[in-house]
Structure 1
Amino acid sequence: MSSLYHPTVARLTYRALLGRRRALILFSLPALLLIIALAVRVLTSADDSTADGILGGFAIATMVPLIGVIAGTGAIGPEIDDGSVLYLLAKPVKRPTIIVTKLIVAIGVTAAFSAIPTLLAGFILNGNGHQLAVAYAVAAAVASVAYSAIFLLLGTVTRHAVVAGLVYALVWEALFGSLISGARTLSVQQWALALAQKIGEGDLITSDVGLPAAVVLLVAVTVAATWYAGSKLRTLTVAGEE
């Protein structure tokens, strides 16, 4: 594992992701979730269905993919855009190590800014009744892995990674996923909800994908996206040297 993780690359990536502008966006979304949770709890004494609606409808469906876009594309996209990635590629660091290190950082940032606030919001809303807080927090953490890999890949293949990521997160998953049942099968959100459904008690949490299929798809997409991102980085190196 140590050969696939480079502390210096990780430190530079953390610094880039937690810069002033990105940090403001990263903090604002979890803050909004917690404000909503507090307001609902104080004003309406939220029941289980209300908690489920907020955690599933806002935290998992909106906040997690948006944070994934910011962290995943921001882990490498800006370096490619301004050409500074060539200085990194000139160092004696293996290309898979660069990609895996940046992926680990992106996963860590996405999970920290999504899973932890989701857990806190769940306890605020209904005190973890029916295990909703834990179930949705786990779903957020699991989704963070796949989203980070997908959006990191987008950062290596297009200069419009943020736009492409938003299209996937907000158009494919949120819009098409709510209208077309087949689209939900190819949704990171639904894969993560399959695990949440297993953890949660009762029938509040639902998913259109069975747990075995969801696990296979999550692993396959994460591995494939990471591998292809490394492949594209090798191509970028050759182009830069030529």
Structure 2
Amino acid sequence: MRSGLYHPTVARLTFRALLGRRRALVLLALPVLLLLISVAVRLLTGADDATANTVLGGFALGTMVPLVGVVVGSGAIGSEIDDGSVVYLLAKPVSRATILLTKLLVAVGVSAALCVVPVLLSGLVLAGGGQGIAVAYALATLVACVAYGAVFLLLGVVTRHAVVFGLVYALVWEAFVGNLVPGARTLSVQQWALAVGGRAAADSAVTSDVGLPLAVVLLVAVTVLATWYAVRRLRTHTVSGEE
């Protein structure tokens, strides 16, 4: 049985599943909307760091990134489990860990491609490149894509309702509770990512309620544990598709 971190055939099939015409349109809608909002705000108010933080922190990192993560992460394997086609993949001489890790790499890559560049461009439009805000949010977005990829891929493995649970998490916890309830921010991927991204911004232009050491520990722990458990659960799927 072949093992490793990456399998080209699995990656190709995952890319094809994620970037189908209908799914691609859904995934592109939010990045395009972010760019349109950024251009409109810049034309109306000019370059402003506070406005940049509001748009990038509230809409981009707080809403767009987790929503894209839900669609991509859960879709990387959830649809195959739902329609039963995963049994054909699991019957191949490829280890379950390789399958899962390949799908995670593809999910993170697709999410990053859809989110990091638009966030960077929006940051440059809104803040004019001042104080490294654009780079800081782009870095935070990349970090968040990795964590969300692992978490939502796990949801795609453990439940047939991954999109529903993912949307509840993204819209209720990250976009609402995590922004309004101070204590809940410690358990917010958004805040962890901001702590990492904030290192690229001068004069604390980008801040987080979580310290950098704790944020790094939590990001690594969540990503590793989610990936490990997803592999473990995938191993319980038999070729017949039963658990």
TM-score for the superposition, normalised by structure 1: 0.96
Corresponding residue for residue 177 of structure 1? 178
Deviation at 1:239, TM superposition (A): 6.2
Does the 8 A contact of 2:86 with 2:241 survive in 1? no
CA distance in 1, matches of 2:181, 2:40: 33
Q: Does 1:105 align with 2:98?
A: no
Q: Deviations over 1:173-202 (max 9, x none)?
A: 222213322211111101001012222112
Residue-pair matches, total = 241
1:72-111 maps to which residues of 2 (within 5 A)? 72-111=73-112
**CA distance change for structure 1 residues 182 and 237 in 2, over 3 Å: closer, same or farther?**
farther
Does the 8 A contact of 2:34 with 2:122 survive in 1? yes
2:185 corresponds to which letter in structure 1? Answer: R
Corresponding residue for residue 65 of structure 2? 64
Q: Which moved more, 1:35-44 or 1:137-146?
A: 35-44
Corresponding residue for residue 193 of structure 1? 194
Q: Does 1:129 align with 2:126?
A: no
Deviation at 1:63, TM superposition (A): 0.6
Q: Does 1:204 align with 2:205?
A: yes
The alignment partner of 1:64 has SS state of: helix
Does the 8 A contact of 1:173 with 1:183 survive in 2? no
Q: Which moved more, 1:76-85 or 1:44-53?
A: 44-53
Corresponding residue for residue 9 of structure 1? 10
Q: Deviations over 1:12-51 (max 9, x none)?
A: 0000000011100111111000001111112221311111
Does the 8 A contact of 2:63 with 2:174 survive in 1? no
Does the 8 A contact of 2:151 with 2:226 survive in 1? yes
1:204 corresponds to which letter in structure 2? Answer: A
- RMSD over equivalenced CA pairs, Å: 1.4
Return 5+ residue gaps in structure 1 as ranges.
none
Return 5+ residue gaps in structure 2 as ranges.
none
Does the 8 A contact of 2:194 with 2:206 survive in 1? yes
Does the 8 A contact of 2:87 with 2:240 survive in 1? no
Deviation at 1:129, TM superposition (A): 0.8
Q: Which moved more, 1:137-146 or 1:34-43?
A: 34-43
Corresponding residue for residue 230 of structure 1? 231
Does the 8 A contact of 2:84 with 2:241 survive in 1? no
CA distance in 2, matches of 1:226, 1:83: 22
CA distance in 1, matches of 2:181, 2:6: 40
Q: Which moved more, 1:51-60 or 1:232-241?
A: 232-241
Equivalent pairs: percent with the same residue?
Answer: 69
1:39 corresponds to which letter in structure 2? Answer: A
1:121 corresponds to which letter in structure 2? Answer: S
Corresponding residue for residue 54 of structure 1? 55
CA distance in 1, matches of 2:44, 2:14: 41
